[in-house]
Amino acid sequence: MIESESDAETEAIAVELSSILRSGDVVALYGQLGAGKTTFVRGLARGLGCRQTVKSPTFNLINEYPGDMPLYHIDFYRLESHSEIDDLGWTDYLDGDGVVAIEWADKLGNSLPHNRFDVLISFGGPEIRIVEVIAVGDPGNR
C-alpha cells in the first residue's frame, strides 16, 4: 500500500506501474466516487506516452488514447446490468494493441480477465489516498 497526498503523487504511482505494462494488460480500478481512479488513469496515460488529456469517460464510456502504447479507458459507472456491459463491446479491447484501464471494475464480477492488475484506491483522509496495486494471476502472461 502506498499513501498519496496529492493528485501528482497518485499519477506518479500510475506512471511507475505503466513502466511494466505490456500490450494486452488490464488494469482494473476500484474505489469510491472521487477516490482518484481517473487521476490514476491520467498517470497511466502519461507513462504510456499518450499525448491527449485524459478525461473521465463516464459519458462516452470508452475513451481511446493513442501513444507509444495505446490506452483504452473504460468506465462502467453508469451501466446497471450485465447486458448493458456486454453490449458495450469492451472485450474487443482485450486483444488490442494497448493497455485497458477499467473504472468501476467491480461491476464486471467474474467477467474480468483472470490475469490483470487490480488497483484499489481508498480515502485515508480528506487529502490522502491509499493506493494498493495487486497482480492477479499472471498479468504478463495472456
Helix boundaries (H) for the chain: 7-18, 37-47, 82-87
For the stretch 114-124, pLDDT in tens is 899 999 999 99
Question: Is there a domain that residue 50 lies in?
Answer: yes
Q: How many domains, in total, are found in the chain?
A: 1
Question: Is there a domain that residue 142 lies in?
Answer: no
State the burial class of residue 99 (Cβ atoms within 10 Å of its Cβ: 0-12, 13-18, 19+): buried
Residue 72 sits in a domain whose CATH number is 3.40.50.300
Confidence (pLDDT) at 88: 64
* Dihedral (Cα; 105, 70, 16, 108), 10-degree rounding: 10
Domain of residue 39, residue span: 2-136
Distance CA 33, CA 16 (A): 23
Confidence (pLDDT) at 65: 94
Residue 18 in this model has a pLDDT that exceeds 90: yes
Distance CA 129, CA 77 (A): 20
Closest CA to 54 of 35, 66, 41: 41
Residue 6 in this model has a pLDDT that exceeds 80: yes
Question: Is there a domain that residue 36 lies in?
Answer: yes
